Amino acid sequence: MKKIAYLILAGLFSLSSCSMFELDNYELPAETLQGEVVDIETGELVLTDQGSEGIRVRLTELSWGDNVSPNPDFFCMPDGTFQNTKLFAGNYNVRLDGPFIPLIREDERGVPLADETQTVDIKGVTNVTFEVQPFLRVEWVSEPEVINGKVRAQVRVTRGVSEEEFRAKIEPMGGYSASFQNVTDIQLFVSYSSTVGYRARDERWSSQLEFSGSSFNSMLGETITIESNGTIPEGRMVFVRAAARINFDTPRGSGTRRWNYNEPRQVLIY
């Protein structure tokens, strides 16, 4: 028995000296990528939703060669900026998908038509700016009003890219339809959260206006009135935000039709 015990102890000491018991001395990812998404025509940030319906950021580290998988996706903040503070230093391709003309465009055979992504070396704090052509612009016409426990908002929706330029850039991708440019809905999102949007909305009070075919075309640039649902309790402070989208998904074939937004407004219900 003493001999067996001795052998066990000797084995344990031997294992303790091997690499399996050594501390992992790899440095944790600590490099930062910061960015913003800007309307190329106005210079203003492209406002979005903080979730999978918002602007998606996809990083692919190229340091390991061509056949690599993208890093986990993350999303812009509602103000159109993004940040990732947990990256390894390296050479990355940065791609964005959102409610704007796609940065990567290919024809039906996969032949590249355009690639407006960016490839950058990320080390320390690295900043990037993407200038894009948003599908729509959504603006407040006046400050939201409160009437009998409801929020009444007046907004204006215009195209961020002309119908002609949209077609010129999208049609070569194949399967083009004039219906892609149709405005399908306007939403009024209501929430207790300042990040109000599709992912942070109160369904009791949020509302929408839906449009079929090209019926909204005559209302482009006009004042649209939209009112919240239900009755919001008196004395509550809520945030409201309007959004609109077209009948086109990004990335193409994903089924995700993303909204363009205006700025949130804080409203006291009285």
Q: Is 224 helix (H, G, I), strand (E, B) or coil?
A: strand
Measured in degrees and rounded to the nearest 5, phi and psi for residue 181 equal -90, 0
Tokens linked to 201: 């909305």
Could you write out the DSSP letters of every residue in 86-129?
Answer: EE-SEEEEEEEESSBS-SEEE-TT--EEEE--EEEEE-SEEEEE
pTM of the entire predicted model: 0.88
For residue 69, the 8-state DSSP code is P
CA distance 183 to 178: 12
Ordered domains of the chain (ranges, CATH): 31-132 (2.60.40.1120), 136-268 (2.60.40.2060)
Phi-psi label, residue 109: left if phi above 0, alpha if psi -120 to 50, beta otherwise? alpha
User: How far is CA 174 from each of CA 66, 106, 161, rounded to the nearest angstrom?
Assistant: 27, 9, 19
Residue entry with tokens 């947990």:
86
CA distance 222 to 156: 6
Question: pLDDT tens, position by position, for the chain (270 residues)?
Answer: 444 444 444 444 444 445 444 555 667 899 999 999 999 999 999 999 988 999 999 999 998 776 688 899 999 999 999 999 999 999 999 999 999 999 999 999 999 999 999 999 999 999 999 999 999 999 999 999 999 999 999 999 999 999 999 999 999 999 999 999 999 999 999 999 999 999 999 999 999 999 999 999 999 999 999 999 999 999 999 999 999 999 999 999 999 999 999 999 999 999
Closest CA to 55 of 83, 33, 74, 34: 74
Task: Please say whether the beta carbons of 184 and 204 come within 8 A.
Answer: no
β-strand pairing of 265-268 with 145-147: unpaired
